[in-house]
Structure 1
Amino acid sequence: MAGVASRYHAVWLRDNAWDEGTRASGNGQRLITLSDVPEDIAISEVEVRGETVTITFAPSDERIDYDVNWLLAHCYDLPQIAEKGWISDEILVWDSAMSDHIPTADFGQVKADKEALAAWLDGVVQFGFGKLTGGPVEEGALFEVADLFGYVRETNYGRHFEVRTEVNPSNLAFTGLGLQAHTDNPYRDPVPTVQVLYCLENSAEGGENMVVDGFACAQRLKREDPRGFHLLSSYCARFEFAGSEGVCLRSRRPMIELAPDGALVGVRFNNRSAAAITDVPYADMAAYYAAYRRLGQIIDDPNMEITFKLEPGECFVVDNTRVLHARKGYSGSGSRWLQGCYADMDGLRSTHAVLVQEIVKAAE
């Protein structure tokens, strides 16, 4: 491609070859290890023919073809991002202004139409959540939702859990109390990365669901208090749950999680399950708590939330590493019954990617 220049190391090129001696034809997995690549490998010759680059490697004299477009798509000769808290291009952060643009689809349509399912999953990937309407009003229907994109992740709550008022509940989620926006199960390592909440009854007054973009909140905290953002992303918080017999779950992770290159990859926020924070030095603890308080205030800001009331047969799906969910309090009159289950984003992303590939291929 004229005008485009990029550099590649010989060892990287050999390790990432797609010839039949390097990759299995069925699944693309490597057939070699790095030990099979000479430490002194070098490029001895390059030949370009159209969109194919043929490279000869020394000292083995192997000749391997590479697709120019593949090389450009996987180029690593790029400016390094120095800013902490950056997010990938596929993610769109949002606040209450997105209330009229919730990724929503009809259950029957996404079940029957691959393009409709792909479009809905695309919204979930971008925005971190999505709604489905028109589903069956029957126990266990939430499993059909999980089957659209992945697999149920079983926990100590079972394959699913009931969300309705209980006597002597093991978790505050099973009461009529309002709940602050939170991510679920931060005491697990790894956390379930998808939550599905499916409505079966909802005649109680109140009980509206709310969602908040944790990435947007983290970015806002960074703008207002860069040091606070640094503290919440640099030190681990601790979370714990021991509300059921035979269960004692603990984790140690930062509230704002960054990848080694500074990318924002996760938010954990759940005051109910927070354990004593002991990994912050004395000199930073006051400022850490100030940042913790401010993050909570940002999360509670109505300008950051989207509120909706689920009707029977409706559900919503959230990326539990990013989007916080909440519930307004509801009265004892009427009834409110939701069923919930957990799944994982890797299955959702895999299904989305496969559907997109199939649609593109069919259009060619």
Structure 2
Amino acid sequence: MSVDAWLAELGVGGLGEAGEAEFSGLAQRHRRELHVHCYRMLGSFEDAEDTVQETFLRAWRRRETFEGRSTLRAWLYRIATNACLDLLAKRRPEPATGGEVLWLQPYPDRLLDELPAGDADEPEAVAVARETIELAYLVAVQHLAPRPRAVLILRDVLGWPAKDVAELLGDSVNSVNSALQRARAGMREHLPAERQDWTGDEDDAGTRELVRRYTDASVATDVDALAALLRDDVRCSMPPTPGLHIGRDAVVTNWVDDGFERMEGLRAVSTAVNRQPAVAFYQWREDAGAYLPLTIDVLRATGGAITEIVTFHADRFPRLGLPERLAADGGTA
């Protein structure tokens, strides 16, 4: 079915202004899920934004190639995946190494809430959607070469049949199945050992209490109290700044060396990022007469202890919908 015929079935005109507007409107319905798909592929919120724009541009330019053999959604996913692969070949020809991803950026839960409900009643589907957006998954998947990465996401996250993935990539089904096995093995090397015990549910009282204690100790710059909340093998990173610190002693030493204990005038705002608890920190600036953005810590907790801290810089605050400043009384300025 051509796009003209498809639009005619919808009761709109051909590929004139009316058809273009209808096509754009239908494609835009899938923007958020395509953005999340590109984000999983790329690990960068901003690169995903650029790639979704490129996807819609390519879709419009190639509208005559849509024959109606698949849904518009599946067609857009094909274009988006290829756009991601093209960007990876151009900007990052080699995957991440060493357990850190310098281009990693956070994804706010308020935007993830825009995703269609889908199989919301299926516990397994809900778990997959949640676990594959957490930062630990994003870091692990960025260590895969681009094509196995695409195979893994299309097969294990989106649930595409192997034959459809093979058609998209121009490979055989055997090649796709082989790439999937390699990708799964690669993920096991980089995922946390407690894969089945990822971040506690947001309604879990124990996790909320742990985050509260972490927040209070951070605002008080109490390193000893913070150290007591960390698991022995905790991991800490701060993309895009290089450096992955592994183990409680290494993390605490880094904090002390950076002068954390001497910091003053901190305030905190709780939020949620990548379906994980997060704490945004502000610091008092006398010249501004307000608390200004400092950093945001995204936490992973397991068994009542913090197992990972990923810290992002203040430039992420606008994307996360956080206040640009806090008043002297701690409220939004």
Larger radius of gyration: 1
The TM-score normalised by the length of structure 2 is 0.26
Query: 1 or 2 for the larger relative contact order (CA 8 Å, sep ≥6)?
Result: 1
Name whichever structure is richer in strand by fraction: 1
